Each structure stands twice: as C-alpha cells, then as structure tokens.
Amino acid sequence: MPYHSVVCVKQVPDTANITAEAMKDDGTVNRAALPAIFNPEDLHALEAALDVRERFGGTVTALTMGPPKAADVLRECLFRGADRAILLTDRRAAASDTLATSYILAQAIKTIAKKFGEVDFVFCGRQAIDGDTAQVGPQCAEKLGIPQITYMEELIRLNGRTVVVRRNVGNGWEIVETTLPALITVIDTANRPRPSAARKVMLFKRARVRDEVLGDVKRLLPDASEEDRRAEAERRMADLQQRGLLLDQWNLDDIGAEIDRCGLSGSPTKVYRIQSIVLTKSGYKEIAPTEEGVRNLIHELIVDHTLG
C-alpha cells in the first residue's frame, strides 16, 4: 500500500559555531553571522520517510517555512531522494513562535493534502537546534487533529492503516500503536541518513523557487527595466517548469492562513530578557559516588542558592 509522507525540515543557524557576532544588541539571533545548515534531526525524519517509501511504496514531500534561502534544505531533500519540495515563505510569517509556526505548517500540510493527495505520515525532527523547544511537531499534530508519536527510534510495523513504533523515553522504551494519518517526531538514533545521490545532485542543483529566480535576474541585470527583468524571470521560470526544476513556493494566502494567527501577531511568546552566561571557573571538584558524596553536593548547592 503506497503512503504519502510529508517531512517538515528547517534551516537553522549552526549553533555549534557560535561567534561573538552571533547575537545582536537587542538579544535576537544574528542569523547572517552564522552558517545555515539542515537541522540535524530533520535528516533523520527525512530518512524515516524515504524508508517508508522504499519498503511500502508512495511519495515523500519535503516542506519548509523560512526565507527564500531555506530552499537550500529543500534541494538537499531532493538530492537525498524526496519526490517534491515546497517552500512556504512570507514576510508576514516572520518572528513566528512555536504556536504560529505549527499553525502555518498545519495549514500547509492541509493544502498539500488537497493538491497532491491525502497525507498518511507527517515526519518531523524531535527538535530544532536553534529554538530547541521540540514543540512544533506535537502542536502541529494537535492542529491537524491527528495522533502523534514523539521520540521515534524504530518503525516496527506498518500494516494497512496501523503503525507500531518504538519510542525512546530516555530511561527506557515504549512500543506504541496508532492509526494513520499520524505525526511522528524522529530522534537521531533512529537511522543513518543516506548521503546525497550524485545523479540527483546533478539533476536538482539548478532547481529554484520563484524568489530565487527573481533574485538571480536582479543580480544579473542590475540596469534593466522592471519590465525586462520580469520578462526574463518569466522566461527562466517557464524553462525550469518544463524541466521539472521549479519548486513550489507558497505564501500565507496560498494556504488559506488567518493572518492574525501568523508571525508576530500570532505569537504570544515574549522574550523579556536574554542573559549571556559566561562560565569562568577553571577548576573542578570531584564528588565521591556515594550517598554521602551526593548528600554533601546537594547541601552545598542549597547553601549557595543554586537549588531551592
């Protein structure tokens, strides 16, 4: 039985390479100063979806919300085997917190179902390395009104409309069964993401979304009139479309989103203060792995108000 999987992938700043320029004065992240990468756990979500397609048949649609530059992660999905890739980009979606992000993604997934056929699985990474909340997948499932299984480590069985999954709950495992459609968040021990296929890299490296084409034309024809630029962009897009290389680009209107549920107006999270913690102590103290050692440690932590 073929299954249609949607994989939510996010382009994130590489938080492993933080420099002094990483934060702006107002405490927000200076994304331009950090290299942008594929959110690591989303590669495992993609692999889970590709694995379902390989074992049972079907299609894999990659979805990201972000600026036009986020099309990089969509191309990466195509290099690794996704069948279709969609960019959701809209200035009105900027500054979305998890509530707004999950609403927008849920609307996009409903639109995917309408345009390309019912969705059986939504795969997400467990969490993104920039926001780190792990809320988007579960909130998205709530908004779609479908069951969710978080922390998937193994898809044990898929039989018709029933899926059985092993989830890692930290100090043990749970075997969970649910019916499809379902949303599953995937952890990094679930699988080994396959590398890009050279043939697909050659095929899809020129794939573009509309805004990238407009940007390319503006850069290449800086002195051309608006009309000439538009004509050149249309010509390029028609050419890409014909070769199957024009990626879908949607805005909030395309997915029927209520604008006041998106972006800043749809985001109740307010960051009041950001504190930079610098650890200055160079030494360390060894605690004996005994009842008494732990008791002494807790006593010290209470005395210096770290605990309590």
Ligand X SMILES: Cc1cc2nc3c(=O)[nH]c(=O)nc-3n(C[C@H](O)[C@H](O)[C@H](O)COP(=O)(O)OP(=O)(O)OC[C@H]3O[C@@H](n4cnc5c(N)ncnc54)[C@H](O)[C@@H]3O)c2cc1C
**Of residues 96 and 107, the one with the C-beta less far from ligand X:** 96
Give counts: helices (H), strands (E), the chain: 8, 11
Q: Which of 14, 83, 130, 211 is in the footprint of ligand X by CB under 6 A?
A: 130
64, 97 Cβ separation under 8 angstroms: no
Site string for ligand X, 98-117 (x = CB under 6 A): x--x---x------------
Tokens of 141: 């499932």
Q: Which of 9, 141, 146, 237 is in the footprint of ligand X by CB under 6 A?
A: 9
**Of residues 69 and 236, the one with the C-beta less far from ligand X:** 69
DSSP state of 161: T
Smallest distance, Å, CB 58 to ligand X?
19
Burial 66-84 (b: 16+ CB within 10 A, else e): bbbbbbebbbbbbbbbbbb
Q: Segment 25-84, which members bind ligand X (CB under 6 A)?
A: 29, 39, 41-42, 45, 64-66
Position of minimal CB gap to ligand X:
131
Asked whether position 97 contacts ligand X by CB under 6 A, the answer is: yes
Closest CA to 156 of 137, 172, 173: 173
**Of residues 100 and 237, the one with the C-beta less far from ligand X:** 100
**Of residues 34 and 217, the one with the C-beta less far from ligand X:** 34
DSSP state of 305: T
Smallest distance, Å, CB 12 to ligand X?
7
Tokens of 157: 């069985």
Neighbour order of strands in the sheet with 58-65: 173-179, 162-168, 148-159, 182-186, 121-125, 3-8, 58-65, 84-88, 248-250
Site string for ligand X, 254-273 (x = CB under 6 A): ---------------x----
Tokens of 182: 């379902």
Helix or strand holding residue 141 (H, E) = helix 136-144
Interacting residue ranges for ligand X, rule: CB under 6 A = 8-10, 29, 39, 41-42, 45, 64-66, 96-98, 101, 105, 124-125, 127-128, 130-137, 269
